[in-house]
Structure 1
Amino acid sequence: MSTQEHPLGVSFEFFPPNTDVGREKLKSARDTLAERRPRFFSVTYGAGGSTQNRTLHTVNAVRESGITTAPHLSCIGSEKAQLRDLLARYREEGIDSLVALRGDLPSGMGGIGEFRYANELVEFIREETGDHFEIAVAGYPESHPQAPSLGRDLENFARKVKAGANLAITQYFFNADAYFHFVDRARALGVEVPIIPGIMPITNYTKLARFSDACGADIPRWIRKQLEAYGDDSESIAAFGEEVVSRLCQRLLDGGAPGLHFYTLNQAAPSLKVLDNLA
């Protein structure tokens, strides 16, 4: 598909760069992806305020594109007063969308803070700001890596959605059946909001394996073996990855997924190649 505006509910995630080269790379990716008129962009956030200012700077840079931009808001390690100030600042800046996450406890921090779970963060945002923000929460089709069971994880997911979320974005995965099973189970628990599948383009096997091991996303054995077989052949890895992810996305959309959320790693081309392959 070569149209400038994709008809689906497409969105893209960026992370705050920490170098001048990285900032220029992000601006280039932002401008290229904005041409597709996505539903929104999102910008990741470090727990405990470690990247708070950098995130806001990045959000404002991304918003220059004219596309709604949602900062990630992580509650572990944060205090209510700190988050209250941050929410007020976002409102002053004209930001009206958030991705609300529990987050991970940064190394060296002594305590969890006043929040333990994402549902508490969603409840707090609603108590403080009413309906000002559209709130997205995370879903884990293959279960959160720290969850004791898939069933418990689904219950936690339903709890944070019902606390006031408008939509959910999933962790990336490569097995469409995991997504469909997750959605079916969530609907059975009364979750009605859109559940948007998260998509990770495959461009580098070493990085993908490291990300996946850390976040609990499964790389099917046949994909791992093929990527391993390509060794340092980056062109073959990229071509194979494009084919695998394109087929995954097509199956998701054919099965009723309400859109696609791409984890871009601040690169435009891999996501756009996948989008252009979709019917």
Structure 2
Amino acid sequence: MPHPLVTAAELAALLDAEAPPIVLDVRWRLDAPDGRAAFEQGHVPSAQYVSLDDDLAAHGAPTDGRHPLPAPDVFAETVRRWGVSEGDTVVVYDDWLTYGAARAWWMLTDAGIPARVLDGGLAAWRDAALPLEPGPGTPRAPGTVTVTSGLLPQLDIDEAAALAGTGILLDVRAPERYRGDTEPIDPRAGHIPGAINSPTVDSNAADGRFLPPEELRARFVSAGARADEPVGIYCGSGVSASHAALALTLAGFTPALFVGSWSQWANHPDRPAAVGARP
């Protein structure tokens, strides 16, 4: 697999190459989940718009969480709709903290598709004074890639509960949600008992790019992560935890993602909820 990150200058050069990557724009944020209008105002040339809610998530019961993974065969059809064939590399980006792009990166990597993330997102592209393309984008001819699934470590709800007691389970939400001071989305406040708070937004530098690998590693080690122990991660719905998965990967860890995250846990009344700053 290629290095997970690509700079704006590197992407611009790749787009001028003989075999350019397929570019996906995952314009999504909590307060504006439908990013198509923003995409049509201006996007990286050749990019295709990706709906996180429709293309990168299924629509299940509340007990599945807010963003469960689509079935493997459904995601395979989506990937081929993007025009991906054998040997293609995909570059993903967004315009909000790299959360949506990281979700696409994680799913593509889990499916065996070489994927990279534009470090710093659309802001980095703009900062480099590179051109934007308006309009709805041009669909590609369907691809023929063979898609696998399950190549990256995952945790189900029982495994997440167990890891919180036997290893390291990181809750990467904002501290106030971890403590249970507030819960604006899910039915209960708090965190999985034993989980350690390590907000994933702290893995970004002020310009939105990821911190250097050695700084990321220091962050996670200070939170309790160890190379010889499993490291699990969760967030509210499994999206920003994908960002943490990318940060941990850059830092040299092999994280396991609890896709259902707190939105699944909170919808199971039999699961205990811890509150306060302590695990």
TM-score bucket of the superposed structures, by smaller chain: under 0.3
Considering Cα pairs closer than 8 Å and 6+ residues apart, tell me whether 1 or 2 has the greater RCO: 2
Q: Normalised by the size of structure 1, how large is the TM-score?
A: 0.26
Higher helix share: 1
Q: Normalised by the size of structure 2, how large is the TM-score?
A: 0.26
